[in-house]
A and B are shown apart, each in its own frame.
Chain A
Amino acid sequence: MMNPSETPKPLVLVVDDYQDAREMYAEYLEFSGFRVAEAKNGQEALDKAFELRPDIILMDLSLPIMDGWEATRRLKGDDRTRAIPVVALTGHAMTGQSDEAKGAGCDSFVTKPCLPDALVDEVRRVLATHGGASAR
């Protein structure tokens, strides 16, 4: 499905159990020129990540089945996905969630509520920091 001759659009995996938010971010990311894959929980996120090898993952932390922290830990523990940057979407930092997120291996975190354009800005920034990600 990827066309090597075209400039590949970065693939963003959006993981959120709240459909409205997930689709909102997905729509705005596509509007902003990204390819988007979606996952509803931690387990699905792992499956999609191994399958699609996204360029970046937006990970909501409170998720059913497997929460965002556990999923991030597993992604970072696997050679196939270790290099993929993970941006954590946290609720209002209740008990130092940002620290916990970093401990789990998150590369960045964004506090919700987060407006779509602010989120896209952060995605772009992280991708730029991790340079060369788009080469994959």
Chain B
Amino acid sequence: MTLLTCDKLSVSYNRITALKNVSFHVDDGDYLCIVGENGSGKSTLIKAILQLIGTESGTITLNGIRQTEIGYLPQQTVVQKDFPASVFEVVLSGCLNRKGRNPFYGKAEKALALEKLAELGIATLKNKSYRDLSGGQQQRVLLARALCATRKLIVLDEPVTGLDPLVTTELYATIKELNGKQGIAVIMVSHDIQGVLESANKILHVNVEPVFFGSPSDYLNTSVGQRMTGGTTHA
């Protein structure tokens, strides 16, 4: 089943075109990686999908999922890095939409947060202060928070920025496991094209306009794919 369809999407900021005529779709269980150079419109596309910005033309259609049910792992903010919250409090904040009008989080939300902590192997960090964690641990916490909001689709904006290669590999493995075992569709923006080629089943390359949309193997046969990967060939 197709979860998300983006059809001829165009977005402008202050009369400058950030995205033009971008089309793609994400099916159940897909792992889509959005790549492109700096300023190519990758993060703008994420924001448009999440309806954080308006679109100029084109459509984004969600099927079987509401916009607020998309799990979102945004780029880290300076405030977040230094905020005195416990790991549990950060993950619990991902349940904001589930608590309805109740001002407090209930038992169900707390149980869900604990479940996601356990799933990502960070249950022992529950009472630790988020700002005292390593970069890799912090990203796992934010991933757990994003998972609290969704059962079907998660959007990750540059999740491995600033992480060392070993931690990056571990995080990719975790995301791949979520995608493979739980069937959660993944949309990930990344600069690290080499790292995601083995996990993703779809690649979208944008440079304001769409450059490529298809499988990783087809991408590697294009000139832009070869340029982005430094000429590497994958199976």
Does A associate with B in a complex?
no
Measured CB to CB, the residues of B under 8 A from A are none
Measured CB to CB, the residues of A under 8 A from B are none
